[in-house]
Amino acid sequence: MSTDQLAARRQHILDGARRCFAAYGYEGATVRRLEQSTGLSRGAIFHYFRDKDALFLALAEQDARRMADVVAEQGLVQVMRDLLDTARKDGVAGDGAAEDHSDRSWLGTRLEVSRRLRTDPDFRERWQAHSAELTAATRERLDRQAAAGALRDDVPVPVLTQYLELVLEGLVSHLAMGLPADALDGVLDLVEQSVRTLRH
């Protein structure tokens, strides 16, 4: 197979695994279910990834890079809006019928990452570098906004960065519990306004 074909096969496995992990969680995503979701044998899957843990980490890394790209262009609040939008389409947020959009979003992966960060110290240690990448993207965007005069100047950028990250984690926990999402658009509007330049 050519390099492009190998890359396409690897991405095909990641897309199928994303659907499987979103539907069943890490523990429930058995090798058999991964085979069904990807349409490939376990031999084909684990030719590209050492084991299920390596597959999940590769998927989480890819989604973290995508999130960092969105942050760089549109900010962390946009990431939150994307998560909320997908939760509604997938029926995760308690106000819609479940549909399969998990291959278009990082929500399922993000929910599982949050769970594993609480329960798996080894995973938490390996995840730190990717968490730092998202923090750096958020910080850089806020620095640019501050330089342009669009950011409030009475709160240090590192504090605003951590504030937004805490809101993100709170949103993920809220969605993971399937709680109502009716007012969350307004909440995210408030969060976005709260970091902008204060007007008297």
- Looking at the domain assignment, is residue 175 inside a domain? yes
What confidence score (pLDDT) does residue 64 get? 85
Give me the CATH number covering residue 83. Answer: 1.10.357.10
For the chain, the domain total comes to 1
Distance CA 26, CA 73 (A): 30
Distance CA 129, CA 110 (A): 15
- Looking at the domain assignment, is residue 26 inside a domain? no
Per-residue pLDDT tens listing for the chain (200 residues): 688 888 999 999 999 999 898 888 888 999 999 999 999 999 999 999 999 999 999 998 888 888 889 999 999 999 999 988 888 876 655 444 334 444 445 777 888 888 888 888 888 888 887 888 889 999 999 999 999 999 999 999 999 999 999 999 999 888 888 888 888 999 999 999 999 987 64
- Looking at the domain assignment, is residue 199 inside a domain? no
What confidence score (pLDDT) does residue 199 get? 61
Q: Which residues of 106-115 are buried (b: 16+ CB within 10 A; e: fewer)?
A: bbbbbbbbbb
Intra-chain end-to-end CA distance of the chain, in Å:
63
- Looking at the domain assignment, is residue 66 inside a domain? yes
- Looking at the domain assignment, is residue 107 inside a domain? yes
Q: Which of 118, 104, 107, 82 is nearest to 176 (CA)?
A: 107
- Domain span at residue 184? 54-194
- Looking at the domain assignment, is residue 134 inside a domain? yes
